[in-house]
Structure 1
Amino acid sequence: MVKARKYVVKQHFVGAPKRDDYEIVESDLPPIQNGEILVKTEWVSVDPYIRAYTSRFPVPFDQFSFQVGLVEESKDPRYPVGTRVMSHKGWCDYSIINANVANSPFDMLYKLPDFKGLSSSLGVGALGMPGATAYFGFLEICQPKPGETVVVTGAAGAVGSLVGQIAKIKGCRVIGFAGSDDKVNWLEKDLGFDKAFNYKTVDVQKVLKDAAPKGIDCYFDNVGGEISSIIISQMNDFGRVSVCGSISSYNDDLTNLPKATILQVAIVMKQLKVEGFLVSRWRDRWPEAFADISKWIKSGNLKTREHITEGFENIFDAFLGMLNGDNTGKAVVKV
């Protein structure tokens, strides 16, 4: 008999998530049936989308997120014991999965490919959903050309740090915005961004004019809010904006969101393309992204950094820390 623990959301978040919004539930898992596998969680991902999506589900519900786990028992020949799998089973230490049953659009299960010596934790990072998000969200929507100027917000996070490096690989000039001087140094010195700025301490309008005197061609938007309005107002004709998220407002009251400068004048007069996306759009093509990203990591052209928290009991703290910008690179929990 396996004892399993999981985080259950018992009330919707009001403002920043609170520990009291969760209950940790322990239960005995039943024996697995034909077609099922028992998975022991190894790595749990904490990402901004979790905060954005939780209000869509009636409480109580099990907290979802991507995770890498190891198959400990199997009654599905496609997933023998010892196989590492990626699923969306979330904040739990054990789970039973039936690959033939999808209870929601989020349900996902696939074998982790052989990372050839790289950590399996990358399965929830650069070689998982965040990597696919950076790859397709930037390359498919922005379609960057060598020599163009690219701006990335949330540039030191799991997705933004990859977007900036992919832009450099594609021959672009890259400007990043992050929330601390340490992150700015990491972006410039380690990742090769041409310029990076701490948005909390600079005049964004002024530093952008100085750093991109010829304007901006592509903008990868992770944060929304007024900083995005300023960046979009400095874009060149036919500029492209890929809208990945709006982390600046995820904890705000959806009925009373902060106001940002009107964008329509810039969008019309400069004939900009502004497109939002969900990475599931390219789900059948994710292996393309992982093949390229893996090659870039091994060649040294792309660096990955993880902010690792240890312990099942610390998943919530890791989640809150990520929303507060405590992480540099991918926030991940080792269970």
Structure 2
Amino acid sequence: MTVPENRQFRLKARPTGRIERSHFDFATQPAPEPGPGQALVRVQYLSLDPTNRIWMSDMDQYMPPVAIGEVMRGGGIGVVMKSESDRYQVGDHVMGLTGWQDYCLADEGENAMAVLPANLPIPLSAMLGACGMTGLTAYFGLLEIGRPQVGETVLVSAAAGAVGSVVGQIAKIRGCRVVGIAGGEAKCRYLLDELGFDAAVDYKASDWREQLAAATPDGIDVNFENVGGEIMEAVMARMNLFGRMPLCGMISGYNSGEPMRADFSSILMRRIEVRGFIVSDFMDRFPAATQELATWYLEGRLKHQETVIDGLEQAPEAVNLLFDGGNRGKLVVRVSDD
């Protein structure tokens, strides 16, 4: 049997500013052979997320930075091609940290990959998006930290992105008034016409602050924060007393190399509850939440939108779409066919 080639992006230099192909070595070597308790996985979909940019840096973070010379870390879905493990059967679809490569090894124990149910009635790529880690991020950040109540106003920044679009839809399911901030008229129309948001603010428009005021006449009760910077400060200035702010990301500053700063006066004067979180904080509750997200999806109450880039070789350039606002919904790379 011919051993397949495994293409890998290995981190060569830590980016300062925009991510470039030159920050990686694109190497090829034989696919690894699984040992006892392991399985060989062919990667099918690679998830591109803002946290990829954090992992490339050596800043203080919730996981160790990717070391120079290591395969770039990334989540994905693949199919088991060969197994020396009772956990993984040939043909199983698995989800976990695959890395930016064609093939990876799935282990048992603490770092085991999740085995997806057979005959899943949901597209595989949606298991990286609305019904997967992206959806879980939205679910726990909004419901556990934001704690929205019926009739409250929930504001979502980067609302046409992977997490933000799911946050807004869950807030609508829970009976809230939802305002999204997105870049450009087309994305704002998408929020209103396709996702059912109540109002949209175009941050690329010169009058975005006036749009924000008009969209939130009764203030903001929950701010699901993905962006940071001046948008976050303008939103906090419109928050109601004892509002809640799940802090999911501050994507506007990830490429700047400068620490993000915020005006704490609104937090103090309005007694805003701010809590940063990582979705893995809620790992023990993933199964029940995934079931609820999948139910909403199958009922047509939760829509999954994605931007698919074909080819592993496109990953370094494609990840910049997250910071340029070039994607709608979940951004994935299709590495291989099913």
Offset from partner CA, 1:202-247 (integer Å, 9 cap, x none): 4333222211111110000000001100101111111000100011
Alignment of 1:247-266 (within 5 A): 247-254=251-258, 257=259, 260=262, 262=263, 264-266=264-266
| 3-state SS in 2 of match to 1:288 | helix
Contact 2:200 2:215 in 1 (8 A): no
- Aligned: 1:92 with 2:101: yes
CA contact (8 A) 1:205 1:231 kept: no
Q: Who is 2:324 aligned against?
A: 324
Say which of 73, 76, 94 aligns to 1:67: 76
1:303 maps to: 303
- Note closer, same or farther for the CA distance 1:213–1:30 as it changes in structure 2 (3 Å cut): closer
* Cα distance in 2 for residues equivalent to 1:245 and 1:108: 26
Deviation at 1:284, TM superposition (A): 1.4
User: What is aligned with 2:10?
Assistant: 8
Deviation (angstroms), 1:318:
1.7
1:86 touches 1:108 (CA, 8 Å); kept in 2? no
Task: Report which stretch shifted further, 264-273 or 152-161.
Answer: 264-273
Residue 38 of structure 1 deviates from its aligned partner by: 0.4
User: TM-score, normalising length from structure 2?
Assistant: 0.93
Is residue 2:192 matched to residue 1:188?
A: yes
1:200 aligns to 2:204 (yes or no) = yes
Alignment correspondent of 1:292 = 292
- Report if the CA contact (8 A) 1:204-1:227 is conserved: no
Letter in 2 for 1:218: V
Task: Report if the CA contact (8 A) 1:36-1:96 is conserved.
Answer: yes
- TM-superposed CA distance for 1:269, in Å, is 1.9
1: CA distance, partners of 2:325 / 2:172: 24
1:77 CA drift (Å): 1.3
- Counterpart AA for 1:297: Y
Question: What SS is found at the alignment partner of 1:275?
Answer: strand
Counterpart Cα distance in 2 of 1:171 and 1:204: 26
1:52 aligns with 2:54: yes
Q: CA deviation at 1:258?
A: 6.5
Cα 1:115/1:243, change in 2 over 3 Å: farther
Aligned residue pairs: how many? Answer: 326
One-letter code of the match for 2:329?
A: G
- Matching residue of 2:62: none
Letter in 2 for 1:116: L
**Counterpart-to-counterpart distance in 1, 2:33 and 2:227:** 44
Judge conservation of contact 1:204–1:230 (CA < 8 Å) in 2. no
How far apart, in 2, do the equivalents of 1:146 and 1:115 lie? 36
RMSD across aligned C-alpha pairs, in angstroms? 1.5
Distance 2:249 2:119 in 1: 28
Does structure 2 retain, via aligned residues, the 8 Å contact 1:147–1:173? yes
Which amino acid is the alignment partner of residue 130 of structure 2? A
Tell me whether 319-328 or 133-142 shows the greater mean CA deviation.
319-328
The answer to whether residue 244 in structure 2 is matched with residue 240 in structure 1 is yes
- Which residue is 1:174 aligned to? 178
Unpaired runs of at least 5, structure 2: 59-64
Q: Which residue is equivalent to 1:275?
A: 275
1:266 to partner: Cα distance: 1.7
- Opposite residue 198 of structure 2, the aligned amino acid is D
Q: Which of residues 18, 22, 25 is equivalent to 1:23? A: 25
What is the DSSP-based 3-state SS (H/G/I as helix, E as strand, rest coil) of the residue aligned with 1:322? helix
Is this contact kept in 1: 2:11–2:25, CA < 8 A? Answer: yes
**1:226–1:30 CA distance, 2 compared to 1 (3 A):** closer
Q: 1:258 to 1:45 in 2, by over 3 A?
A: closer
Distance 1:290 1:238 in 2: 30
Distance 1:17 1:161, change over 3 A: same
CA shift at 1:117, angstroms?
Answer: 2.3
- Inter-partner Cα distance in structure 2 for 1:243 and 1:275: 6
Q: CA separation in 2, counterparts of 1:45 and 1:31? A: 24
User: Which blocks of at least 5 consecutive residues in structure 1 are unaligned?
Assistant: none
